[in-house]
Amino acid sequence: MSIFFNKITVLFKNKNLFFIKYFLVFSIPLIVSLLILFTSSIFTYSQYVEKEISKNTVSMLNQTIENVDFLFHTAESLNLNFSTNPEITNTLKKILIKKEMDYDDFVLLTVIKSFISSSVNSTLYLDSIYIYFDISDENYISTVVNGTVQIKHSLDTSWYLSYKTHDKNEMTWSELRKVKKYEFENESKEVITVYRRLTTGGVIVLNIKSEYIKNQLNKFTIFPKQQLLLLDKNNNLINRNDNENLFSINKNDLERIINNRNQYFKETINRKRYIISKINSEKYDWKFVSIIPEEVLYSGLLNLKIVTIIMVLTSLFLGLVLAYYITIRNYKHIDNIIKIIDSGKDEKCSFEEINVPVKNHYEYIEKRIIASFVEENKLKFQLAEDKYALKAIELKALRAQINPHFLLNTLETINWNIISICKKPTPANMAINCLAGILKYSLDNSKDGTILEEIEHTKNYIEIQMFRYHEKFDVEWKYNEQLTQYKIIKFVFQPLIENCIYHGINEKEGKGYIRIELLKDYSNIRIIISDNGKGIREEKLEEIRRTLKDPPKNFSEHIGLLNTNKRLKLEYGEEYGISITSMFNFGTHIYIDIPAIKK
C-alpha cells in the first residue's frame, strides 16, 4: 500500500494534470449519478411514507370511530326501548317514587334490571348503567346493586350534579370521571361517562371503562411515538393511548390543532415537527387526533445515507485507481505525441526521420498527427477558397435583396409620375399600388402570416387580373372575421385563384364567377375556392388527384397547385393539403385543409 501511495506522489509531481483529468472523468459522473439517485430516492421515499402514513392513519381513525360509536349503541337502544314502551317507563316511575315496594314491583324491577344488566354483562367495555327519571328526585336504577339506589346514599353522585347542571337542550354529552362502586375499594376508577337524555324525561348514564378505550387506542397505534387523543365536543381530553415515548402537549397547541380546518397537516409543537391527522364522529361529535413525529419519515433514510456514503467512497477509490493506471499507461504515448508536435516546429525536421510503428490506437494517433502536417497547408488553402466563395454568396444575396427594393422604389416613382401627368389617380395607379403591395408581401422573410394578410395580398393580385381582363369575372369573399387571425403559410390563395382564371374562366365565354369561402370545423380550417369556369374532364381530374397524392420529383404541369399542396403537407403534416372536385363545363371546387392555429 505504501508503494502505491509513493507512486501516486511521483505521479502528481510529474504528470498531475493527466492524473487529475482522468480522475475527474471517472469519478465525477459516478458521484453525481449517486447523488442524484440519493436525492430522488429521499424525495420518493418521503412522499411514499407520508402518503402511507396519511392513508393508514385515516383508516385507523375511521376504525376507531366505528368501535367507539358502537359504545353509544347501548344508550340508544335503551332510550328506544323506554320511548316505545310507555308501560315499562310508567311502571318504573311508579316503583321509583314508592317508599316501599311490594312483591310484584320487586319481580318486575328484577326483570327490567336483568334486561339492563345483560348489556353490561355481555360487553367488555361497560362498567355500569344508571337510569334516572325526573319524577323521582331520590331514587335511580343502577346495575351495581340490586333494587333501586337512593342518591343521598350513593357513592357516585357526580353524574347527578352533571345532569342537573347541564344544558337541557343537549341530548348527548360525555365526560371523564373517577368513581368508586363499593366502599371497600381503595382507589377510584376512571370511567368515561356518556349521558343520553330520555325523551320521556330523565337520563341514561353509561359508565364506560376508560382502560378499555385506552386499550383500543393502543391497539390502533401503528407508528413509533404516535399519540392518539380522544376529545369530547368541548375539546376536553377524554383518553389517550399508552406510549412510553409520549410527549406533553399543552392546551394552546391542542386548540391550534383542533382549529386547523385540514384533516391532514403538519404542525410545530415544542420546536419539533409533527404529522397531524384528525377526524370527527358525526354522531356524537367526539374528535380523534393522531400525532406522529415527522422524524418517523426519515428513520428509514439512515441506512440509505450510509449506503450512499459507502458507494461514494468506493467510487472515489476506484476513480483514483483507474486514473493512476490509465495515466501511467498513456502518459508515454501523450509525451511522444507532444515531442512530434514540437519537432514539427523545426524547419530542418523531415517526416522520414520520425518513424512511428503502429501497434495500438495511440501509435495510430501519432501517425495521423504526422500526416496532418502534410495536409495542413492544403487545408489552409481550401479554407481560404471557402471563405472567398462564402463572401461571393453573401454579396449575391445582398444584390438579390437590393433588386426588389429598387423595383419597389421605381414603381413608386412611376405611380407619382402618372398622377402628376393625369392630374388624378387612374386605373394604372391602382394596378401599380397592387403590384407594390405584392412586392412588399413577398419581401417579408417570414414563412407564414395571418389569413387576413393572405387575403389582402390575394385581393391585390385579383385587382391586377381584373384590370388586365377588364372585369371578365366577379369575386365573392365569404368568411367570419374571427377566422382571419389564424395562421397560414404565405402564397396559398394566389396560385389557386390563378388556376381558376387561366384554366377555367379564361377558356369560358361570358362572365365568370369566383367564390372564396372560409369555414372552421373543430380544430381545422377549410378554405373552398370555387369557380364556374370550363371545369376539368374526368380523366384529367383523376390524373391531377394522383399527382397530388404522389407528386413526381420533377413536374412541369400544374406547378402552382402541386407546389402549394407540397408546402402545406411539409408545414402541417400529411393529413392536411389540397383536394379537388370538378365537373366539365360546370366549374371546379378546390378544398384547402389546414390546422386552426392562432398567430
Q: Return the C-alpha cell found at 516.
A: 372564396
Q: Mean pLDDT throughout 578-589?
A: 92
Chain segment 252-272, per-residue pLDDT in tens: 888 888 888 888 888 888 888
- 5: pLDDT strictly greater than 50: no
- 525: pLDDT strictly greater than 90: yes
Q: Mean pLDDT throughout 498-527?
A: 89
How far apart, in whole angstroms, are the C-alpha atoms of residue 325 and residue 157?
A: 90
Q: Mean pLDDT throughout 141-158?
A: 81
Least confident of 348-357, 481-490, 578-587: 348-357
Chain segment 18-28, per-residue pLDDT in tens: 667 767 776 77
Q: How close are the terminal C-alpha atoms of the chain, in Å?
A: 70
Give the model's pLDDT for residue 398: 44
Q: What percent of the chain has pLDDT over 70?
A: 68
Chain segment 303-361, per-residue pLDDT in tens: 777 777 887 788 777 777 777 777 776 666 666 666 655 554 454 444 444 555 556 66
Residue-wise DSSP of 322-381: HHHHHHHHHHHHHHHHHHHHHHHT-TT--GGG-----SSHHHHHHHHHHHHHHHHHHHHH
**What sign does the dihedral 454-456-459-464 (CA atoms) show?**
negative
CB 473 within 8 A of CB 511: yes
Chain segment 202-214, per-residue pLDDT in tens: 888 888 888 888 8
- 7: pLDDT strictly greater than 50: no
For residues 67 and 462, which has the higher predicted lDDT (pLDDT)? 462
For residues 475 and 58, which has the higher predicted lDDT (pLDDT)? 475
Would you place residue 169 in the very low, low, confident or very high pLDDT band (cuts 50, 70, 90)?
Answer: confident
Least confident of 34-38, 275-279, 489-493: 34-38
Residue-wise DSSP of 69-88: HHHTHHHHHHHHHHHH-HHH
Give the model's pLDDT for residue 69: 66
Give the model's pLDDT for residue 208: 86
User: For the whole model, what pTM was predicted?
Assistant: 0.43
Least confident of 376-385, 509-518, 537-546: 376-385
- 486: pLDDT strictly greater than 90: yes
Residues contacting residue 98 through CB under 8 Å, at least 6 positions apart: 105
Per the prediction, the chain carries an average pLDDT of 76
- State the CB neighbour count (10 A cutoff) for residue 19: 20
How far apart, in whole angstroms, are the C-alpha atoms of residue 7 and residue 78?
A: 92
- 405: pLDDT strictly greater than 80: no
Would you place residue 84 in the very low, low, confident or very high pLDDT band (cuts 50, 70, 90)?
Answer: low
Would you place residue 12 in the very low, low, confident or very high pLDDT band (cuts 50, 70, 90)?
Answer: very low
- State the CB neighbour count (10 A cutoff) for residue 570: 12
Give the model's pLDDT for residue 399: 47
Residue type, 292: I
Residue 137 carries which DSSP code?
S
- C-alpha triplet 500, 502, 504: angle, nearest 5°: 50
- 408: pLDDT strictly greater than 60: no
Give the model's pLDDT for residue 112: 75
Q: Beta partners for 190?
A: 178
Q: Beta partners for 591?
A: 528, 579
Chain segment 103-122, per-residue pLDDT in tens: 777 777 777 777 777 777 77
The b/e string for 187-206 (b: 16+ C-beta within 10 A; e otherwise) is eeebbbbbbbbbebebbbbb
Q: Coil, helix or strand for 120?
A: helix
